[in-house]
């Protein structure tokens, strides 16, 4: 892991989804361009910070379910983002220390912080790939992935709050299909995705315009469009829901679905 090379690649003049997300979560690893982009989105969708928090909560609940109830011991988390409390390996390895996790992101600043993602329990393993979701074959054939995960055993593929950055012209369904085709029976697909299902037409137009101004390609998708990613999988109850409604913690008050506008689902490969 070459920190000097990663630092040299950081372009602080252009916003990046991982750093923008960090800003919404209250982190410090972001730059003026990221904050300006994030604020442009927040003008049209004022509850975007809440959406980021609730999406992270969804990731944590799903990881706990997969490790504790589904018995999954291998995780491929693409679009990892900057480390924060409750990363996948921390949750999974607390339940099953032998869990093995591969993180993938394409932001060099995430690479600089990757050592926090590599603090594995000694019984398990973690690794970080500096790679792009838009090149799924490179991810699947990367020697560090193959040294960490056994692709003949079930894997949880986690695409949490990342596919909405892959616009239709970038073949999003083909990307997910390529990744899923590498998974054996018993694997899981976890996804969350920004949606227009809960927004009024006027709000959708404002959000689309803000996303264009933000400098980060972004595409809202309907529940029907979201469901297409799961072809060949069987949904784990409750199926496709607002992320706040996927097996929520009963003691918490949950925000309205429209305030988060994020769909989530977990599905099993028979």
DSSP codes joined into one string, 113-127? TGGGG----TTSEEE
Q: 205 pLDDT band (50/70/90 cuts)?
A: low
Helical (H) or strand (E) element with 91: helix 88-95
Q: What is the CATH number of domain 3-268?
A: 3.40.50.150
By the 10 Å C-beta count (0-12 exposed, 13-18 middle, 19+ buried), 69 is classed as exposed
The model's pTM is 0.85
Instruction: State mean pLDDT over 189-195.
Output: 96
* Site of tokens 């469009």: 225
Distances (CA, A) of 164 to 124, 141, 239, 252: 31, 24, 19, 27
Instruction: State mean pLDDT over 118-133.
Output: 91
Weakest mean pLDDT among 109-123, 181-195, 228-242: 109-123
* pLDDT, tens digit, 9 for 90 and up, residues 25-36: 777 777 888 887
pLDDT at 30: 79
Is the model's pLDDT at 81 over the cut of 80?
Answer: no
Weakest mean pLDDT among 12-26, 57-71, 144-158: 12-26
Instruction: State mean pLDDT over 185-208.
Output: 83
8 A C-beta contact, residue 255 and residue 47: yes
d(CA 241, CA 58): 11
d(CA 258, CA 243): 11
In sign, the C-alpha dihedral spanning 45, 207, 265, 73 is negative
CB under 8 Å to 154, separation ≥6 — which residues? 72, 73, 74, 183, 184, 185, 186, 187, 188
pLDDT at 2: 44
User: Mean of the per-residue pLDDT values for the chain?
Assistant: 86
Instruction: State mean pLDDT over 198-225.
Output: 73
């Amino acid at each position: 892991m070459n920190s000097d090379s990663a630092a040299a690649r950081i372009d602080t003049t252009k916003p990046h989804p991982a750093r923008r997300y960090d800003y919404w979560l209250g982190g410090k690893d972001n730059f003026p361009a990221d904050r300006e982009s994030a604020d442009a989105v927040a003008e049209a969708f004022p509850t975007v910070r809440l959406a980021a928090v609730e999406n992270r909560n969804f990731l944590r609940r799903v990881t706990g379910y997969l490790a504790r109830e589904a018995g999954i011991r291998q995780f491929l988390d693409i679009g990892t983002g900057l480390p924060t409390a409750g990363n996948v390996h921390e949750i999974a390895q607390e339940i099953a220390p032998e869990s093995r996790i591969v993180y993938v992101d394409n932001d060099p600043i995430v690479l600089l912080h990757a050592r926090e993602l590599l603090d594995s329990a000694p019984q398990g393993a973690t690794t970080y790939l500096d790679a792009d979701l838009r090149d799924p074959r490179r991810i699947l054939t990367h020697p560090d992935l193959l040294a960490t995960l056994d692709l003949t055993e079930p894997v949880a593929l986690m695409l949490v709050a990342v596919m909405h950055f892959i616009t239709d012209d970038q073949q999003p369904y083909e990307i997910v299909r390529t990744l899923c085709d590498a998974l054996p029976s018993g694997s899981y697909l976890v996804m969350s995705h920004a949606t227009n299902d809960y927004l009024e037409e006027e709000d959708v137009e404002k959000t689309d315009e803000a996303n264009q101004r933000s400098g980060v390609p972004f595409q809202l998708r309907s529940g029907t469009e979201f469901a297409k990613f799961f072809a060949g999988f069987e949904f784990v109850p409750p199926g496709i829901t607002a992320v706040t409604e996927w097996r929520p913690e009963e003691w918490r008050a949950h925000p309205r679905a429209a305030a988060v506008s994020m769909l989530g689902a977990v599905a099993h490969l028979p």
